[in-house]
Amino acid sequence: MEGKYKIADVVFGLKTKYAYTHRICAGYESEEPASFRIETEEADIRREEEASDQPFPPAYLESLAVYRKLCNEILRNYGGFLFHASAVAVDGYAYLFAAPSGTGKSTHTRLWRELLGEKAVMINDDKPIIRYIDRNFYVYGTPWNGKHRLSCNDRARLAAICELTRGEKNEIKRISSAEMVRVLMNQSLRGEDGESMLKLLDLFNELAKSTAFYRLKCNMDIEAAETAYEAMRVKGEKHEG
């Protein structure tokens, strides 16, 4: 199976053994010239199988291998990285919620959509790509978007990243980049070599200069979204991505 796709404003050719990855990439097809090509091998599928904590079909594992290759290429050459988070956009700005799986990221961004209605757009519910372009960070939707399949083929300027934790009361506070670095490291796809790792750290350094970081303790009530949105939202302007 072969195709050509544009994801995170990067065009690439793709050849796979199974059709699954091409199906989930529907809507990201491109007629523009490809900058590089991704092709999978059995070794790539075995690698993903060994890294998984549960059995998955080979076609799904191949899709993970494709995304790993794509994100490694974007990190090496396009100033971007995969960040495991639920990303919601409001008025052209993206707000990312990061936490270990099962903490409630998807539930929290669902509360944002309940609170704000059509103003809140899901960029990606699980694995968005963040790119640094012209001194701004942008969050991109991708076809790798979690079990709820929530995403869009769009981008929004990054406004804030929030570490999500559970709590009985809803409390949010601004934190430093030093406090957020653990989350950034744990939730990002790291480079496969020393040079790529240095590029990721450089991106984190730029991120610290332009991005607000928060820590939110929250329950599952709509008040949690109200608390987070009022504290984090960009006030006084609307940005068109």
Model pLDDT for residues 177-194, shown as the tens digit of each residue: 999 999 999 999 988 888
Compute the distance between CA of residue 177 and CA of residue 83 in angstroms, rounded to an integer: 16
How many whole angstroms separate alpha carbon 136 and alpha carbon 239?
A: 12
% of the chain exceeding 70 in pLDDT: 98
pLDDT tens for each residue of 68-118? 999 999 999 999 999 999 999 999 999 999 988 777 889 999 999 999 999
Q: What is the pLDDT of residue 102?
A: 74
The pLDDT value recorded for residue 41 is 95
List strand residue ranges (DSSP E) for 55-170, in order: 80-82, 86-90, 93-98, 120-124, 129-133, 136-140, 155-166
The neighbour count for residue 29, using CB atoms within 10 Å, is: 11
Q: DSSP 3-state assignment of 192?
A: coil
Report pLDDT for 237.
Answer: 54
Distance CA 123, CA 70 (A): 18
User: Residue 161's pLDDT is what?
Assistant: 97
Record the tokens describing residue 188, joined without a space. 């990002």
The overall average pLDDT reported for the chain is: 93
83-232: what fold?
Phosphoenolpyruvate Carboxykinase; domain 3 (3.90.228)
Res 53 pLDDT > 90: no
Give the percent of the chain with pLDDT over 90.
Answer: 86
- pLDDT over threshold 70, residue 169: yes
Out of 41-50, 201-210, 229-238, pick the least confident.
Answer: 229-238
Instruction: Give residue 235's pLDDT band: very low, low, confident or very high (50, 70, 90).
Output: confident
pLDDT for position 221: 93
**pLDDT level of residue 54 (50, 70, 90 thresholds):** confident
CB atoms within 10 A of CB 14: 21
Do the beta carbons of residue 103 and residue 86 sit within 8 Å? no
Q: Provide CATH 3.90.228.20 ranges for the chain.
A: 83-232
Helices (H), 1-91: 20-24, 42-51, 58-77
